Amino acid sequence: MFQWVHENVEGTEIEVLSLAPFTLNPKIIFYNVPLGTSQTRKLLIQNPAKQGVKIFVAKTLPEELRVTLSWTASYIGPGSGKILEMTWNPVDGEAGIYNFTLTDGKRINRSIRVTLKSAEAERFNAKEKEKLLENDKLVKAAVKIQKWYRTINLMRERRICKILTDSYIAVTMRATELGTAVRPPRYEVLNNCRRSAAVFENSKPGSS
């Protein structure tokens, strides 16, 4: 006879699944989970038999729900247990009941019910979702316009610097022919041109 303890760690109750025959399957519940956050539930799988068993996850939840398991296959020794962690990271409003299956490929075949409910699932209707998507599109468009204006300004600065540089080179060449001195460009003008050219080069696609 093995004695098990229903654990409670860090305020989170651990659900227990015994692999003994005729025992009830636990239910895992995620309730009011805020969008964009993650929450984890723990399932303690107990093997009261005198032989070890290898357990597989034969059926999982739909991938689009963004539910992950800490393992999909594990050996559980005789008279011991193994924790399976389930983490949910909702990005869309969700309220539904799903199942995943644990099996050893032989006599053990357990279907575990999972309830998923996000905090925003009841608040967002179709019109509100459409409005959120539209706002997201507007933000992305504004960012693109901002980048476009920045690129235009950089190109304009680069053209001005090129004109100044080419003019200085031409004047220098002419002065050399005449044997006269040429006043060098102001230090801050050269610095501004170099900085503008560097920013422009770094703003090109593929530059690091």
Predicted pLDDT at 189: 52
CATH number 1.10.3720.10 is the correct assignment for the domain at 8-118: no
pLDDT tens for 108-136 read 999 999 999 998 655 555 565 566 667 66
CA-CA distance, 19 to 106, in Å (whole number)? Answer: 12
Query: How far, in Å, are 47, 55, 59, 60 from residue 63 at the CA level?
Result: 29, 21, 11, 8
Predicted pLDDT at 164: 63
